[in-house]
Structure 1
Amino acid sequence: MDGKEEILELLRENARLSVEDISAMTKKTPDEVKKIIAELENEGVILKYAAIINPEKDEANKDKVVAEIEIQCQPEREHGFDALAERIYRFPQVKSLYLMSGGYDLKVIIEGDNLKEVAGFVSSKLSTLNGVRSTKTHFLLKKYKENDVLYVEDETDRREGVMA
């Protein structure tokens, strides 16, 4: 693993590590670490540093409605799915957008204040876009795990029983 990969792996696990901590863990000088991180940021490898928030404990946003929408669409000549994807990801409600293989073409994750707002977005904004053939909306009910982070507290007693 080269220096960049090693530093990326450390930052993936904990983006709050200081340059000094990374330096000690990689046996590189703090200046080398700063230089590598700056290169990764300038090259667009590192796009953003963010906190992972437990939605159940975030009082200000715990009632937000999250929906996953499957979209079947018609690709455009010379642009494929990219032009439609660009129109979709520009909406502020869209949190994630993926090109998929299988039964549908695009997967969109959106967020709204309530069901009516999400339904209105799908019916008036998303489904009316030129190139969208059909949509199928799924509402997120509970997050258990995302990006290797568990959102549920493990309260199970894992001790083995003792037989007499």
Structure 2
Amino acid sequence: MESKELEILQILEKNSRLDIETIAKMTQLKEEEVKKIINKLEEDKVILGYSTLIDWHKVSDNHGVTAMIDVKVTPLRGVGFDKVAERIYKFPEVKAVYLMSGTYDLSVSIEEKTMAEVAEFVSEKLSALDSVVSTTTHFILKKYKHDGVVIDGEQEDKRIVVSP
């Protein structure tokens, strides 16, 4: 991959809302060149999409639950963990699936409205898969940083400073 492609990727990763003109100035390329590079990166599936990071706790009427589920599986002969992961990520509740090292094989992130819905997903969908041996569910209580962005980092530390 060329250095200008990498530079554009790094710029878009930090702020995907930048316009072509700004990216062209930052990379010292012509706007047409930037458009061509971005289109190529999208076609080659290097750029998979553009997302917005939202602090859902600031949105009224949103009291959703995020769970991280560690999953131990029996890999399928000839395809390993890939087909098991594919079956899991096809569930609409699933936001992310990662192959992990350590005690568990896969880490699954899901979002639901209630803890009961998470429990239902784990017991009726995830655990019901033939390859799934065991699961451990962790609930996210508070996000401090996500995708490199500090969530609500403007809060002041209101504790009294105590020094010896």
**Do both proteins adopt the same fold according to a TM-score greater than 0.5, normalized to the shorter chain?**
yes
TM-score, structure 1 length as denominator? 0.91
Partner of residue 38, structure 2: 37
Measure, in 2, the Cα distance between the counterparts of 1:13 and 1:155.
23
Report deviation, 1:147. 1.1
Structure 2 partner of 1:110: 110
Matched residue, 1:28: 29
Looking at structure 1, the residues matched to 69 and 18 of structure 2 have their Cα atoms a distance apart, in angstroms, of 36
Deviation at 1:23, TM superposition (A): 0.7
Quote how far apart the aligned CAs of 1:14 are. 0.6
**For each residue in 1:94-129, what CA deviation from the matched residue of structure 2 results, as whole angstroms up to 9, or x when unmatched?**
000000000100000011111111101100110110
Aligned to 1:92: 92
Q: Which runs of 5+ in 1 are unaligned?
A: none
List per-residue Cα deviations over 1:16-65 (Å, max 9, x = no partner): 111000111111000000000001000000010111111211335x3011
Amino-acid identity (%): 48
Q: How does 1:3-82 map to 2 (within 5 A)?
A: 3-60=4-61, 62-82=62-82
Q: Letter of the aligned partner of 1:106 in structure 2?
A: L
1:140 counterpart residue number: 140
TM-score by length of 2: 0.91
User: In the TM superposition, what is the alpha-carbon distance from 1:152 to its structure 2 partner?
Assistant: 2.5
* Amino acid in structure 2 at the alignment position of 1:82: D
